[in-house]
C-alpha cells in the first residue's frame, strides 16, 4: 500500500478502536504505527491488540509498526475526607506521609522519593498545574508549602515536579512487568515515560537486550536539559507536549519542539510530535483551524511522525481523525513552501561512508530526476540515513528482516518492503527495479538509484550506488 505522504502517522488504540474492523479501517485510512498505551491496557488486552494488528499486516501485505508506551511513575496525592477541599492563595498546605484522609491543611502523599528530593523553593504542580504550591519547609516526612495559585484540590490528583530531580528511575515495578510482557510479543518499539536522565534509557535497554527499539518521551524539564545525551542513547524521541506544557511555560514548548526535531535530524534519530494535535476531534468530526496549523507546523519542521492520542483511542471519530491528519500532511508536503523549508534544515553529513553514500544518492536522484531511491537495509541503519537526507524522490527500504521493516514504519519517507536478500549484484538491481514498479513508485522507462552494502548482507556497510532503468512488467533493468 503506497502512502501519498512521507511523514508517518501514529495512532493510539483504545475503547473506540479495539476491534479488528476499526483497526483495519485506521490502517487503510493512513496509520503506519499503532500505539498501545500500557497506562490503560492490561497484558491480555495488549496481546489481543498485537494479534489483531499482525493479522491485518498479513492480510494487507504491509509491515506495520507497534509501539508499547510504558506508563512511567504516576505521582498522585491521596484522598480527602470530603473528596475535595477549597484552598486560598497564600495559605499553608502540607503534603505528608500520614495515610489518613486529607483536609484543607494537609493531604497524604504516598511517594517517599518526593520527600527525599524536594528542597525549599521548588514548585509542586497539582492537577496539571491547576494548583501551584511552593515548598517552604522540607523533611523526609512532610513538605510544608505555600499556595501560589489555584483554589481547590481533590482526590488522587497528579503531582508534577518541574524543579526537582527524583532519585529514582523512570521505570516502576509495573513498567518492569509490562516490559517483560511486551518482550514476549512481536512489538517493535517501547516508549519510556517521564525520563529525567540518560540512565533511565540504559536501564530499559539492559532489560530489553535489543529485542525492541527504545523511544524516549521528552515531557520533563530535566530531560530537556540533558537532551543531547538522551538523543544519543535513544533509538527515537517523542516530543510529548502535554506533560511538557505542564512543567514548562506553555510559550516555551514550540521552540523546544523545533530544537528537538533539528537535533534528532542531525543525529539521524526518528522524532515524533505528539499530544493534542487534533484534540477537538475527540467530540467533533472536524478539527479547529489552530489544530490544522499545529499539524502543519510539525510537518514543515520535518518530524518523522505525528501522533493521535485520545482522538483515535477514545474519540467519537477515530477514522475521521486519521483521514484528517493524512489529508493535512499530504497537502503540506505538496505546498510550495515545504521543500525549501525541509532543505534549509539539511544537516551536514557525518564523515562516514554510509552518510557519504546517502548524501550522494539524494543529490544524484534529485539532479537526474530519478523516480525512487531503493535502499537495501538489514539492520535499518541504511534506511534511516537515507531518510535523514529528506530527499524529494521516494525511498523504498528493502529488508530481509521483517522486524527491521516494522521498526522503519516510524521513519520519514520510508516505504518498507520485506524481501529476501539479493544473490548477486545483478539480482539486487533487478529486484529493486521490479519492486519499484510493483509498488507504484516507477513506470517502465524510469530510472532508480540503488544503495547497498557489498559484500551483500553486511549490516551497516553501505558502500555502493547503482543507477538502473526500470523495464517492462518483469521489472528487469535494461
Kindly list the catalytic residues: 35, 76, 217, 275
CB neighbours (10 Å) of residue 449? 23
Q: Is 16 helix (H, G, I), strand (E, B) or coil?
A: helix
Task: Report d(CA 102, CA 190) in Å as an integer.
Answer: 37
C-alpha torsion sign, points 88, 89, 92, 93: positive
Question: What contacts 407, CB < 8 A, 6 or more positions away?
Answer: 65, 188, 189, 213, 380
Q: Report residue 419: phi and psi, to 5°.
A: -150, 150
Within 61-171, where are the H helices? 112-117
Cell numbers at 251, concatenated? 510559550
Strands 447-453 and 106-108: unpaired
Helix (H) and strand (E) counts in the chain: 17, 21
Does 290 sit behind a cis peptide bond, omega within 30 degrees of 0 on the bond before it?
no
Mark residue 250 as left, alpha or beta (left: phi above 0; alpha: psi -120 to 50; beta: remaining): alpha
Cell numbers at 472, concatenated? 517492462
The secondary structure of 374-419 as a DSSP string is EEE-SSSHHHHHHHHT--SSEEEEEES-HHHHHHGGGSTTEEEEE-
Cell numbers at 36, concatenated? 498501545
Integer CA distances (angstroms), 446 to 5, 288, 383, 425, in order: 20, 41, 22, 20
Integer CA distances (angstroms), 349 to 323, 359, 362, 412, in order: 35, 7, 12, 18
Radius of gyration of the chain (CA): 24
Task: Report d(CA 424, CA 434) in Å as an integer.
Answer: 15
Task: Report d(CA 397, CA 418) in Å as an integer.
Answer: 8
Burial group, residue 380, by CB count within 10 angstroms (0-12, 13-18, 19+): buried
Task: Report d(CA 430, CA 363) in Å as an integer.
Answer: 22
Amino acid at each position: 500500500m503506497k502512502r501519498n505522504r512521507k511523514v508517518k502517522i501514529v495512532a493510539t488504540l483504545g475503547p473506540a478502536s479495539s476491534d479488528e474492523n476499526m483497526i483495519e479501517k485506521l490502517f487503510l485510512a493512513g496509520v503506519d504505527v499503532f500505539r498501545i498505551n500500557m497506562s490503560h491496557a492490561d497484558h491480555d488486552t495488549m496481546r489481543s491488540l498485537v494479534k489483531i494488528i499482525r493479522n491485518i499486516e498479513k492480510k494487507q501485505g504491509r509491515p506495520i509498526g507497534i509501539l508499547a508506551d510504558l506508563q512511567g511513575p504516576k505521582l498522585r496525592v491521596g484522598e480527602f475526607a470530603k473528596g475535595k477541599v477549597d484552598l486560598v492563595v497564600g495559605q499553608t498546605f502540607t503534603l505528608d506521609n500520614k495515610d489518613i484522609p486529607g483536609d484543607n491543611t494537609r493531604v497524604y502523599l504516598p511517594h517517599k522519593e518526593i520527600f527525599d528530593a524536594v528542597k525549599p523553593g521548588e514548585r509542586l504542580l497539582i492537577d496539571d498545574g491547576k494548583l501551584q504550591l511552593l515548598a517552604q519547609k522540607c523533611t523526609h516526612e512532610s513538605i510544608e508549602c505555600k499556595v501560589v495559585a489555584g483554589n481547590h484540590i481533590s482526590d488522587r490528583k497528579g503531582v508534577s515536579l518541574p524543579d526537582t530531580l527524583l532519585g529514582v528511575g523512570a521505570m516502576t515495578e509495573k513498567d518492569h512487568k509490562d516490559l517483560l510482557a511486551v518482550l514476549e510479543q512481536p512489538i517493535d518499539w517501547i516508549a519510556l515515560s517521564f525520563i529525567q536522565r540518560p540512565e533511565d534509557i540504559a536501564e530499559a535497554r539492559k532489560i530489553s537486550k535489543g529485542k525492541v527499539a527504545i523511544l524516549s518521551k521528552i515531557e520533563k524539564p530535566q530531560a530537556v536539559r540533558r537532551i543531547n545525551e538522551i538523543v544519543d542513547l535513544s533509538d527515537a524521541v517523542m516530543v510529548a507536549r502535554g506533560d511538557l506544557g505542564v512543567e514548562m511555560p506553555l510559550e516555551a514548548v514550540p521552540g523546544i519542539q523545533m530544537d528537538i526535531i533539528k537535533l534528532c535530524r542531525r543525529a539521524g534519530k526518528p522524532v515524533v510530535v505528539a499530544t493534542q494535535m487534533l484534540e477537538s476531534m475527540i467530540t467533533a468530526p472536524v478539527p479547529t483551524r489552530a489544530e490544522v496549523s499545529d499539524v502543519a507546523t510539525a510537518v514543515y519542521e520535518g518530524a518523522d511522525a505525528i501522533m493521535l492520542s485520545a482522538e483515535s483511542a477514545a474519540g467519537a471519530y477515530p477514522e475521521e481523525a486519521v483521514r484528517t491528519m493524512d489529508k493535512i500532511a499530504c497537502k503540506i508536503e505538496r505546498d510550495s513552501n515545504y521543500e525549501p523549508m525541509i532543505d534549509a534544515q539539511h544537516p551536514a553529513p557525518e564523515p562516514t561512508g554510509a552518510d557519504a553514500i546517502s548524501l550522494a544518492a539524494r543529490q544524484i536522484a534529485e539532479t537526474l530526476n530519478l523516480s525512487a531511491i531503493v535502499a537495501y537495509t538489514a539492520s535499518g541503519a541504511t534506511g534511516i540515513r537515507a531518510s535523514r537526507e529528506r530527499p524529494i524522490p521516494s525511498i523504498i527500504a528493502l529488508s530481509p528482516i521483517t522486524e527491521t521493516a516494522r521498526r522503519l514504519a516510524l521513519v520519514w519517507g520510508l516505504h518498507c518492503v520485506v524481501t529476501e536478500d539479493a544473490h548477486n549484484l545483478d539480482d539486487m538491481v533487478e529486484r529493486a527495479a521490479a519492486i519499484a514498479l510493483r509498488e507504484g513508485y516507477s513506470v517502465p522507462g524510469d530510472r532508480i538509484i540503488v544503495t547497498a552494502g557489498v559484500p551483500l548482507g553486511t549490516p551497516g556497510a553501505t558502500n555502493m550506488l547503482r543507477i538502473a532503468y526500470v523495464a517492462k512488467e518483469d521489472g528487469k533493468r535494461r
